[in-house]
Each structure stands twice: as structure tokens, then as C-alpha cells.
Amino acid sequence: MNAPQDPRPQDSPPPAADAPKPLRTLLLMGALIAAMSGGVLLIQGRGEQKLSAELQARAQPGDIRMISSQTCVYCNRAREWLTEHRVPFDECFIERDARCAAQYQALGARGTPTLLVRGQPVLGFNPERIAAVLAATSR
């Protein structure tokens, strides 16, 4: 037995009842992705707040020195993060400060930012690593 044939011409759009289902599915998928992204950002935000509070509590003036380059985008991001989260640090620039450049070379640093956390070099900006060094070398 043959299946009934669709009386619509081949190039006609599907009936209106068929159209909302793909659209509804697409909207639901978009809402799910947005909700998941928001949840991840919320979790990251809470983690960042906890990390920020830990660094604020552990870091004292003079504990963190950031060796930077004037053209380093990562240095700018690190400076913004530390400043925004009120973590005390000082900074020098290898292009402007001969002592800073000498310290950078003496460390054998391979890039900027290089942070000295209580004398321990940390290549690149990593708040978790900074917190770990502060915890391991508590005063």
C-alpha cells in the first residue's frame, strides 16, 4: 500500500503548524545556553570574589612586585585586576627602569609580567598561583 501523497507543490513552505516547532526548539536551546553561560559566570564570579578576598587578606605592601613591559597587554590586565581587587602591589617597567631591567635579566625571566611574590618568581599573571605562594610563605 502506498503512503498518501502530500497535495502541496514541492516548493511550497510547510504548514504553519510545522514551523513553530523548529523555532521553539531553537529558542529553548538558546535559552538553555544563555542560562548555562550565566551560571558559569556566576560561579566564576563567586570564585573570583573568594580569591580576591584571600589575596587581600594575605598580601601586604611589598609582598608583590610586578615586572612589566610598557607594551605588554597581559601586564595591563594584571594591573587592572590587582587594582580592581585592591591587592597591594608595586610595579616597575623594564624599558624605563635600569634596576628593573637588571632584576628581570637576573631572574632569567622569559616574559612579562613576571611577578615576585615574597621573592618567588611567578611568570605570567595567575591569581591562584600568587595566592598559593603567599600561603606557602606566610609571615
Total structural domains within the chain: 1
User: Is 113 within a domain?
Assistant: yes
Q: Which among 80, 110, 98, 81 is positioned nearest to 121, based on CA atoms?
A: 110
User: Is 26 within a domain?
Assistant: no
Question: Are the C-beta atoms of 26 and 58 separated by less than 8 Å?
Answer: no
User: Is 32 within a domain?
Assistant: no
> Which pLDDT does position 128 carry in this prediction?
94
- Per the structure, the complete domain to which residue 113 belongs is given by 40-136
Hey, what's the cell of 45? 564570579
- What digits encode the pLDDT tens for the residues 71-103? 999 999 999 999 999 999 999 999 999 999 999
User: Is 27 within a domain?
Assistant: no
User: Is 117 within a domain?
Assistant: yes
User: Is 68 within a domain?
Assistant: yes
User: Is 16 within a domain?
Assistant: no
Q: Check: pTM over 0.75? Answer yes or no.
A: no
CATH of the domain at 81: 3.40.30.10
> Which pLDDT does position 10 carry in this prediction?
63
- What digits encode the pLDDT tens for the residues 2-36? 656 656 566 655 555 555 677 767 666 655 565 55
User: Is 8 within a domain?
Assistant: no
